[in-house]
Amino acid sequence: MIRRNYNLIWMLMLAVFLVPGSSFAAGFGLYADFGGGEGEVESDAIGVDNFDIDTNLVGLGFQMETDPMTRNKVFSYRCQAGLEKRDLEDKDGISLELAGFTMNNTFAFGSNVSEKTRIWVGPQILLGIYGGTTDEKYAGDDLSFAGVLFGLGVAGGANFALGNGSAILSTTVGLRSFGMAGVTEWYDDEEDMTGNGNEILVSVGIMF
């Protein structure tokens, strides 16, 4: 099941970047993500039905946006693809430290409020593949995880043309819910792990 989810995510990511660039005016650049929230995890491996977690994340990668400053354009699409560090910390202070590859899709509806400023709001969809281990031993052994995460939320932001307009600063604030599923390994025992939660995301990027 997890392998099939991996293949689906890679196919979606590849399809996005195969869209012909000549069909729209697009900006390309870099972004940084920061966020955090809380949720709940269930794992058969450690014999606990449910336990609460705090989440935090930091991400860095490449972004592309169609018509980031084009006047008289209502819709724009932004794709951010990069690496993300995500920690899940339980009430005992033990963190599952994950690293992975993510693709965040934003479907933005907005307008230019001035020659150099565009504001927008719209839904976001996050797809990610993660793996990692706990930062300390859990009841005598490291617990590892490999799996996928899906997020759905709403975001708003603004794009600002800098100088003569050759560079664009993008800012985003979003709220999303997420679900995760994968496999944990603990004392050579592999079991399913699932989770869900809510988080706030802040993103800053630069495009040219």
CATH number of the domain that residue 63 is part of: 2.40.160
At a CB cut-off of 8 Å and minimum separation 6, what does 73 contact?
67
Query: Does the residue 177 lie in any domain?
Result: yes
Query: Does the residue 139 lie in any domain?
Result: yes
Task: Return the beta strands (E) in 67-143 as ranges.
Answer: 75-90, 95-114, 117-134
Flag whether pLDDT at 175 surpasses 50.
Answer: yes
Query: Does the residue 162 lie in any domain?
Result: yes
Domain hosting 85: range is 2-15+27-207
Query: Does the residue 184 lie in any domain?
Result: yes
Query: Does the residue 117 lie in any domain?
Result: yes
pLDDT digits (tens, 9 = 90+) for 72-92: 899 999 999 999 999 999 888
Flag whether pLDDT at 1 surpasses 80.
Answer: no
Mean pLDDT for the chain overall = 88
Query: Does the residue 20 lie in any domain?
Result: no
Flag whether pLDDT at 125 surpasses 80.
Answer: yes
Domain count, the chain: 1
What pLDDT is stored for residue 169 in this prediction?
97
- Is 154 within 8 Å of 177 (Cβ atoms)? no
